[in-house]
Amino acid sequence: MSAPGATAEFGAWLRGLRAEAAGKGISGAVLDDALAGLQPLARVLELDRRQPESIQTLEQYLASRLTASKIENGRRRIAEHAALLARVRQRFDVQAPYLVALWGIESDYGRFMGDFQTVACLATLAHDGRRSAFFRDELLSALRILQARRMRSADLRGSWAGAMGQCQFMPSNYLAHAVDFGGDGKADIWADLGDVFASMANFLGKLGWNGGEGWGYEVRLPDAFDRALVDPEAVRKPIAAWQDLGVRRVDGARLTGADPAAGISQPDGAGGRAFLITGNFRVLRRWNTPQRFRIAVGLLADRLAAA
- The mean pLDDT of the chain is 94
Does the pTM exceed 0.85?
A: yes
The verdict on 172 and 234 lying in the same domain is no
Any domain includes 157:
yes
Residue type, 103: W
Any domain includes 203:
no
The verdict on 163 and 44 lying in the same domain is yes
Any domain includes 68:
no
With beta carbons less than 8 A apart as the criterion, state whether 296 and 241 touch: no
The verdict on 181 and 126 lying in the same domain is yes
Q: What is the pLDDT at residue 39?
A: 92
Any domain includes 262:
yes
With beta carbons less than 8 A apart as the criterion, state whether 171 and 26 touch: no
Rg (CA), the chain: 21
Q: Mean pLDDT across the stretch 79-100?
A: 98
The verdict on 32 and 119 lying in the same domain is yes
CATH of the domain at 150: 1.10.8.350
Any domain includes 118:
yes
Q: What is the pLDDT at residue 1?
A: 42
Burial group, residue 213, by CB count within 10 angstroms (0-12, 13-18, 19+): middle
Q: pLDDT (tens digit, 9 = 90+) per residue, 130-176?
A: 889 999 999 999 999 999 999 999 999 999 999 999 999 999 999 99
What separation in angstroms does the CA of 35 have from each of 11, 19, 114, 115?
10, 12, 20, 18
Contacts of 27 by beta carbon, 8 Å cutoff, 6+ apart? 147
Q: What is the pLDDT at residue 6?
A: 61
The verdict on 121 and 255 lying in the same domain is no
Contacts of 7 by beta carbon, 8 Å cutoff, 6+ apart? 39
The angle formed by the CA atoms of residues 256, 82 and 71, to the nearest 5 degrees, is: 60
The verdict on 153 and 273 lying in the same domain is no
The verdict on 16 and 138 lying in the same domain is yes
Q: What is the pLDDT at residue 85?
A: 98
Any domain includes 156:
yes
The angle formed by the CA atoms of residues 260, 266 and 269, to the nearest 5 degrees, is: 145
Number of domains in the chain: 2
Q: Mean pLDDT across the stretch 226-239?
A: 96
Residue of 223, 225, 214 whose CA lies nearest to 264: 225
Any domain includes 295:
no
Range of the domain at 31: 4-48+114-185
With beta carbons less than 8 A apart as the criterion, state whether 44 and 15 touch: no
SS3 string, 78-140, reads HHHCHHHHHHHHHHHCCCHHHHHHHHHHHHCCCCCCCCEEHHHHHHHHHHCCCCHHHHHHHHH
The verdict on 266 and 139 lying in the same domain is no
How many alpha carbons lie under 13 Å from residue 182 in its C-beta half-sphere?
A: 13
Contacts of 146 by beta carbon, 8 Å cutoff, 6+ apart? 30, 33, 34, 119, 152, 153, 156
How many alpha carbons lie under 13 Å from residue 55 in its C-beta half-sphere?
A: 6
The verdict on 34 and 174 lying in the same domain is yes
User: What is the rounded CA–CA span in Å between residue 47 and residue 124?
Assistant: 12
The verdict on 173 and 119 lying in the same domain is yes
Q: Mean pLDDT across the stretch 75-90?
A: 98
User: What is the rounded CA–CA span in Å between residue 125 and residue 162?
Assistant: 9
Any domain includes 234:
yes
Q: pLDDT (tens digit, 9 = 90+) per residue, 24-71?
A: 999 999 999 999 999 999 999 999 887 766 678 999 999 999 999 999
The verdict on 145 and 14 lying in the same domain is yes
Q: pLDDT (tens digit, 9 = 90+) per residue, 164-212?
A: 999 999 999 999 999 999 999 999 999 999 999 999 999 999 999 999 9
The verdict on 161 and 220 lying in the same domain is no
